[in-house]
Chain A
Amino acid sequence: PSPFSRCFPPSQDIRNTVGNIPMEWYQDFPHVGYDLEGRRIYKPLRSKDELDLFLERMENPEYWRTVQHRQTGSELVLSEEQLELIQRLQRGNFGDVNFDPYEPSVDFFSHEVRIHPVTNRPADKRSFIPSLVEKEKVSKLVHAIKMGWIQPRKPKENIPTFYDLWAREDPNSILGRHKMHVPAPKIPLPGHAESYNPPPEFLLSPEEKLAWEQQEPAERRLSFIPQKFRSLRAVPAYSRFIQERFERCLDLYLCPRQRRMRVNVDPEDLIPKLPKPRDLQPFPTTQALVYRGHSSLVRTLSVSPSGQWLVSGSDDGSVRLWEVSSARCLRTVPVGSTVRSVAWNPNPGICLVAVAVDEQVLLVNPGLGDRLLVAATDQLLDSWEAPQEERIQPVQWIPAGPEERAKGIRLLVQHGKEVSQVTWHPKGDYWASVTRGPGSRRVLIHQSSRRWSQDPFRKIPGMIQCVQFHPVRPYFLVASQRSVRVYNLLRQELSRKLQSNCQWISSMAVHPGGDNVICGSYDSKLAWFDLDLSTRPYRLLRHHRRALRSVAFHRRYPLFASGSDDGTVIVCHGMVYNDLLQNALLVPLKVLKGHVPTLDLGVLDVAFHPQQPWIFSAGADGTLRLYT
């Protein structure tokens, strides 16, 4: 039954028989349940609206004590007792008025022994007689003690925790392990910046602070930000103190230790002691002349054996002849295509220039200087008679037509492949040409007086970069990508192979003495070989910053030079001694600047004057320069 059912006055006995169910189930019905006879109990006619409620509240003095019965929906007026009960419950008192919670208690189970027992149960027998189980246990223990199985606890030994450990220290008894011992380095002592009140210059400016914050913690130079406090009172605890101690611990037992020899060298001592350049004069020091005229980069140049003329070949398809002393362009020979290489005949009795253009080599008589000489050269070339039986030649020798002859061209040697380099034998009759591209016949040796060519090599491994005739002996030097091979032409065999230690050789020059060779490479190294010493370079110089394009020896002075893509020419002193015991002395003398690097190319070719200590350089900016 509902909680209200108890307080029903028995006179109004309308019992709802639905039982203790949620009354929401009857929400949609007109009735709320059934009485004892099974008739429906109807809800009061309509629920009262606000106005009715208000009116009732105003009019009915019993309103405040009227509640609605939940089960029947009828209204009940609470009686005085009911109200009192509610108030008591609200106050937290007991519902029963007569109940007194604070009655004096009677403790039945107290420490005092009463004369009457609480229960009337008679005492057990086992409370009178000793326990057998206990007896057994005790006897076991006694037996164990008698047998010595159980022993009394040992009194704690009282060893002093600390005593004089090093009382009998013997310095000789140090273990061998301690010789290997590397003591941990001490923590570096703090500097001014760590002070709580550092001088103002040690504080970081905002930019520095920002930079500090952006750095990785490992690469910071200071592990903290210097701060300034006005007084000691204001200094807070350092938040990373425990971490730092912990890191130190980790360092102590996890960091590998190594004995390092501290390099305590004066840097000045590291610089090698070299003779002063001033004492090694003469050498070119200043730029004297600039030869302008070419419209594109000047690939190559060559000086006449007399030292009076200069020939240069350029990408604009012309060969120009210059007078050295006045920088005047005397003649221009248009050849129509890129000039790869020019070479002046080193024989002073012949006035001839070999020009490599595209697939052919032109032999040009510049027609400069002594008339007799010019005429003699022409005669020499014309005096050729075709041999009786035609021999098969790798190239075609074509005499120049009248038009070309007017330009100075005397002979055309058709190669069929692009020619990259021509070079003369020092005697002036033979010359060699290098062609690009795959296949055999990449190096050919020609004899100009007999118009006769031959292919000296059956097979050449690798790419041929350049070739040189040996100035004294019948040797022929071929530079491939990594190495330089020296062939003996008389015996027709490979006499030695020089390993350059460079990635890609670009150029090569032979010392006029014939025992030394220098190689320039594209990985900006210059290798000096001493043929007597070994096949490895005697010295590798890395003085250029970019790729080397050409190297040259002076014929009379102990000078050599290298031109590089960084637009500089470095002149070095390269003294070779006659006695075999003394190695060559290499001293860089001068860095010559002047060429403007264009298209990532700087100096493309260098050549020394045959007599004077002068040097010519051809640059990618379309000029030639003379340094004296």
Chain B
Amino acid sequence: RRLCILKGIYPHEPKHKKKVNKGSTAPRTFYLLKDIKFLLHEPIVNKFREYKVFVRKLRKAYGKSEWGTVERLKDNKPTYRLDHIVKERYPTFTDALRDLDDALSMCFLFSTFPRTGKCHVQTVQLCRRLAVEFQNYVIASRSLRKVFLSIKGIYYQAEVQGQPITWITPYAFAHDHPTDVDYRVMATFTEFYTTLLGFVNFRLYHSLNLLYPPKIDSQAEDGLKPAEGKEYAMDSESNLERLSALSASLARAVAPAHEDEVEMDEFPVEGETAELMDAKKKEQEALEKHKKLFEGLRFFLNREVPREPLAFIIRCFGGQVSWDRSLCIGATYDATDPSITHHIIDRPRVDKQVVGRYYLQPQWVFDSVNAKLCLPVAEYFPGVLLPPHLSPFVTEKEGDYVPPEKLKLLALQRGENPDEESQEEEEEEEEEEGDNDKEEEEEEDESEKEEEMKLQKMEEQKMEEQKTQNKKVLPVKVTAGKVRVEDKQRLEQEQQSEEKRLAIMMMKKREKYLYKKIMFGKKRKIREANKLAEKRKAHDAALKEQKKKNKKARQA
């Protein structure tokens, strides 16, 4: 089993199941014969055997309490390396990058495990180190693209050398270890993944001209030294801690003259494709802009905010970040620093506000990153009901359900009426304050109108959807219309649908099956979209009613 995991050998589904299985259709798993033969020649098999023998000898020595032998055996413990397997499974670097998703998720999970119990301490430490190194690389190369707060954990998507890499980290809580999980399997996977990730990290660091066992930039180090010199005795540990603080930039192996070179390199590439140049240039510009999203902003993280993900994201987009000195090492400036522009806070109220900075909830950072622009801050003040957090991984196709927030966001990205929302927001705030009744009413009417417009839009959209659906699928039953023109249309449609039904009768069995399957899938999709839209409508209506009631209560 271990060998299969390490070598990445998996069963195949044969093309002719019956032929392979000697006529029976009982479910069995089939491996390729070649794969199994290939396992036999693996040099690591011998290493495994040696290890088995070693364990046996050791047990014997313990049993006879020959401590000298135990020591000698332990000294000569056979080790094995997985380099050649990594190289064999991923002949090119791109292949390795493509398969990095699982490796990263696993490493991030293992690095959160406690130091006792389920797996070796060395594994946990190694995972932690590799994960931190990778994060530092992402910061240095500014390759993070999307982040998503889900109920399972935080998803990140980075683009490394053109390959999208997605990984998930759990929230920083202690795990309750499930009993139905075989940790040995996970450990074997992790063993391979750590090796892979180490090599990938090495290569990535060198591609950026960074030193590989990463070192913090010397000037930054000077700044840090005096602060934690007393507290941390062990040098290696503190080194890792400082790295994981993610606050300082990394030391470069070569003087930082190479940035200009990169720019130079990019131009000829663009020049080659003449017709796509404009589009590409635009994209490039957008990307550059996205990369420098938080450039020049100074953030401060309050104590209750999850520090690591936020620091990681902000640093990825060029922002400066600091936190409370007691929280973790690596804090660069204090909460009282007047140059702070954004203060990330996750409590319902702020005790004492400092003028000149925004107090925001952490979702603002995530939403801004996903929207590729700094969103208006009004909706994210502490204590305010947050707007829904949408998944950046969903790209709506035609006919899918698009939540209205997404529509708003798209409009914002296009640069259309970005004021509308803020106005609304302001209006609502004013309503809450409840000062001027008349104005308020007018404004509310306006907002209601707007809402109605939105509803209408949604209805139209739905109607369209229904229409398309009808055209596609169902025999039409348009609500009664006595006008002749409609009747004609209806007749025509009926005729068409009947023709279609008759034609479907003539389809061959296999095609009919396929057709029915496709149509079923389509219908289900439409049904689900309609259901979501309906739910949304009901929710909006309920919300509106609630608002009205509140208002009446206030007036009374």
Q: Which residues of A contact B362 (CB under 8 A)?
A: 232
Q: Give Cα A55 to B503, complex, Å.
A: 119
Does B385 lie at the interface of the complex (its beta carbon under 8 Å from any beta carbon of A)? yes
With beta carbons under 8 angstroms apart, the residue of A166, A257, A267 that contacts B203 is A166
Does A186 lie at the interface of the complex (its beta carbon under 8 Å from any beta carbon of B)? yes
Q: Taking A242-B109, A256-B29, A270-B511 as contacts, is the C-beta distance between A233 and B346 under 8 angstroms?
A: yes
Binding stretch for chain A, among B166-174, B413-421, B426-434: B166-174
B198 touches A183 (CB 8 A): no
- Within B149-184, which residues are at the interface with A (CB < 8 Å)? 149-153, 155, 166, 170-171, 173-178, 180-182
With beta carbons under 8 angstroms apart, the residue of A174, A191, A200, A241 that contacts B152 is A241
With beta carbons under 8 angstroms apart, the residue of A191, A199, A238, A244 that contacts B536 is A199
Q: Which residues of A contact B506 (CB under 8 A)?
A: 272, 274, 541, 543, 586-588
Q: Which residues of A contact B93 (CB under 8 A)?
A: 166, 169
With beta carbons under 8 angstroms apart, the residue of B12, B199, B388 that contacts A256 is B12
Q: Which residues of B contact A246 (CB under 8 A)?
A: 181-182, 185-186
Q: Give Cα A246 to B175, complex, Å.
A: 14
Q: Which residue of A lies closest to B511 (CB)?
A: A270
Distance in angstroms from A539 CB to nearest chain B CB is 9
How many chain B residues touch A (Cβ–Cβ < 8 Å)? 102
With beta carbons under 8 angstroms apart, the residue of A174, A198, A257 that contacts B388 is A198
With beta carbons under 8 angstroms apart, the residue of A200, A201, A229, A588 that contacts B533 is A201
A191 touches B394 (CB 8 A): yes
Q: Which residues of B contact A248 (CB under 8 A)?
A: 102, 105
Does B80 lie at the interface of the complex (its beta carbon under 8 Å from any beta carbon of A)? no
B539 touches A201 (CB 8 A): yes
Q: Which residue of A lies closest to B35 (CB)?
A: A177
Q: Which residues of B contact A257 (CB under 8 A)?
A: 10-13
Binding stretch for chain B, among A37-45, A84-92, A157-165, A512-520: A157-165
B101 touches A186 (CB 8 A): yes
A272 touches B507 (CB 8 A): yes
Q: Which residue of B lies closest to A276 (CB)?
A: B499
A258 touches B202 (CB 8 A): no
Q: Which residues of B contact A174 (CB under 8 A)?
A: 91-92
Does B446 lie at the interface of the complex (its beta carbon under 8 Å from any beta carbon of A)? no
With beta carbons under 8 angstroms apart, the residue of B203, B390, B505, B511 that contacts A199 is B390
Distance in angstroms from B237 CB to nearest chain A CB is 18
Binding stretch for chain A, among B287-295, B349-357, B512-520: B512-520
Q: Which residues of B contact A239 (CB under 8 A)?
A: 176
Q: Taking A270-B511, A277-B499, A542-B509 as contacts, is the C-beta distance between A196 and B149 under 8 angstroms?
A: yes
Distance in angstroms from A176 CB to nearest chain B CB is 9
With beta carbons under 8 angstroms apart, the residue of B186, B404, B502 that contacts A249 is B186
Distance in angstroms from B292 CB to nearest chain A CB is 25
Q: Which residues of B contact A153 (CB under 8 A)?
A: 75
Query: What 0/1 pattern do residues 426 to 457 of B give for CB contact below 8 A with A?
Result: 00000000000000000000000000000000
Does A202 lie at the interface of the complex (its beta carbon under 8 Å from any beta carbon of B)? yes
Query: What 0/1 pattern do residues 127 to 162 of B give for CB contact below 8 A with A?
Result: 000000000000000000000111111010000000
> Main SS of chain A's interface residues?
loop
A245 touches B83 (CB 8 A): no
Q: Give Cα A250 to B189, complex, Å.
A: 10
With beta carbons under 8 angstroms apart, the residue of A263, A270, A588 that contacts B502 is A588
Does A392 lie at the interface of the complex (its beta carbon under 8 Å from any beta carbon of B)? no
Q: Which residue of A lies closest to B515 (CB)?
A: A270
- Within B192-208, which residues are at the interface with A (CB < 8 Å)? 198-199, 201-203, 206
Q: Which residue of A lies closest to B347 (CB)?
A: A233
A235 touches B515 (CB 8 A): no
Q: Which residue of A lies closest to B539 (CB)?
A: A200
Query: What 0/1 pattern do residues 24 to 40 of B give for CB contact below 8 A with A?
Result: 00000110101100100
Query: What 0/1 pattern do residues 167 to 193 of A give for CB contact below 8 A with B?
Result: 001110111011010111011011110
Q: Give Cα A277 to B151, complex, Å.
A: 56
Q: Taking A232-B363, A267-B518, A272-B503 as contacts, is the C-beta distance between A187 and B101 under 8 angstroms?
A: yes
Does B227 lie at the interface of the complex (its beta carbon under 8 Å from any beta carbon of A)? no
Q: Taking A164-B206, A183-B99 as contacts, is the C-beta distance between A178 and B91 under 8 angstroms?
A: yes
Does A371 lie at the interface of the complex (its beta carbon under 8 Å from any beta carbon of B)? no
Q: Taking A198-B389, A201-B403, A252-B10 as contacts, is the C-beta distance between A245 and B150 under 8 angstroms?
A: no
A195 touches B403 (CB 8 A): no
Q: Which residue of A lies closest to B110 (CB)?
A: A245
B166 touches A200 (CB 8 A): no
Distance in angstroms from B267 CB to nearest chain A CB is 26
Q: Which residues of B contact A194 (CB under 8 A)?
A: 148, 150-152, 391
Q: Which residues of A contact B185 (CB under 8 A)?
A: 246, 249-250, 253
Q: Which residues of B contact A278 (CB under 8 A)?
A: 495
Q: Taking A163-B202, A183-B99, A257-B12 as contacts, is the C-beta distance between A233 and B304 under 8 angstroms?
A: yes
Q: Which residues of A contact B199 (CB under 8 A)?
A: 162-166
Distance in angstroms from B362 CB to nearest chain A CB is 5
With beta carbons under 8 angstroms apart, the residue of A190, A198, A237 that contacts B175 is A237
- Within A254-276, which residues are at the interface with B (CB < 8 Å)? 254-258, 263, 265, 267, 270-274, 276
Q: Which residues of A contact B34 (CB under 8 A)?
A: 177, 180
Q: Which residues of A contact B374 (CB under 8 A)?
A: none
B505 touches A588 (CB 8 A): yes
With beta carbons under 8 angstroms apart, the residue of B13, B149, B505, B536 that contacts A258 is B13
A242 touches B150 (CB 8 A): no
With beta carbons under 8 angstroms apart, the residue of A232, A245, A587 that contacts B149 is A232
With beta carbons under 8 angstroms apart, the residue of B12, B102, B181 that contacts A243 is B181
Does B53 lie at the interface of the complex (its beta carbon under 8 Å from any beta carbon of A)? no
Does B229 lie at the interface of the complex (its beta carbon under 8 Å from any beta carbon of A)? no
Q: Which residue of A lies closest to B171 (CB)?
A: A237
Distance in angstroms from A404 CB to nearest chain B CB is 47
Q: Taking A153-B75, A238-B171 as contacts, is the C-beta distance between A195 and B388 under 8 angstroms?
A: yes
Q: Which residues of B contact A254 (CB under 8 A)?
A: 10-11, 29
Distance in angstroms from B278 CB to nearest chain A CB is 30
Q: Taking A189-B393, A272-B503 as contacts, is the C-beta distance between A267 and B515 under 8 angstroms?
A: yes
Distance in angstroms from A278 CB to nearest chain B CB is 8
Q: Which residues of B contact A250 (CB under 8 A)?
A: 185
Distance in angstroms from B527 CB to nearest chain A CB is 12
Does B66 lie at the interface of the complex (its beta carbon under 8 Å from any beta carbon of A)? no
Q: Which residues of A contact B519 (CB under 8 A)?
A: 267
Does A197 lie at the interface of the complex (its beta carbon under 8 Å from any beta carbon of B)? yes
Q: Which residues of B contact A229 (CB under 8 A)?
A: 151
Q: Taking A183-B99, A197-B386 as contacts, is the C-beta distance between A253 and B10 under 8 angstroms?
A: yes
Q: Give Cα A433 to B150, complex, Å.
A: 78
Binding site for B on A (CB under 8 A): 153, 161-166, 169-171, 173-175, 177-178, 180, 182-184, 186-187, 189-192, 194-202, 205, 224, 226-227, 229-233, 235-246, 248-250, 252-258, 263, 265, 267, 270-274, 276-278, 541-543, 570, 586-591
- Across chains A and B, which 4 residue pairs bring their CB atoms closest together, nearest first? A258-B13, A237-B173, A189-B393, A201-B536
Binding site for A on B (CB under 8 A): 1, 4-5, 8-13, 29-30, 32, 34-35, 38, 75, 83, 86-88, 91-93, 96, 98-99, 101-102, 105-106, 109, 148-153, 155, 166, 170-171, 173-178, 180-182, 185-186, 189, 198-199, 201-203, 206, 212, 304-306, 346-347, 361-363, 385-386, 388-391, 393-394, 403-405, 495, 498-507, 509, 511, 514-515, 518-519, 522, 532-533, 535-536, 539
26 A-B residue pairs with Cβ-Cβ distance under 8 Å, sorted by A, are A162-B212, A165-B83, A182-B10, A190-B152, A191-B394, A195-B151, A197-B149, A198-B388, A201-B539, A224-B152, A229-B151, A231-B346, A232-B346, A232-B363, A236-B171, A237-B171, A241-B109, A242-B177, A242-B181, A249-B185, A252-B189, A255-B10, A256-B30, A265-B518, A270-B515, A586-B506
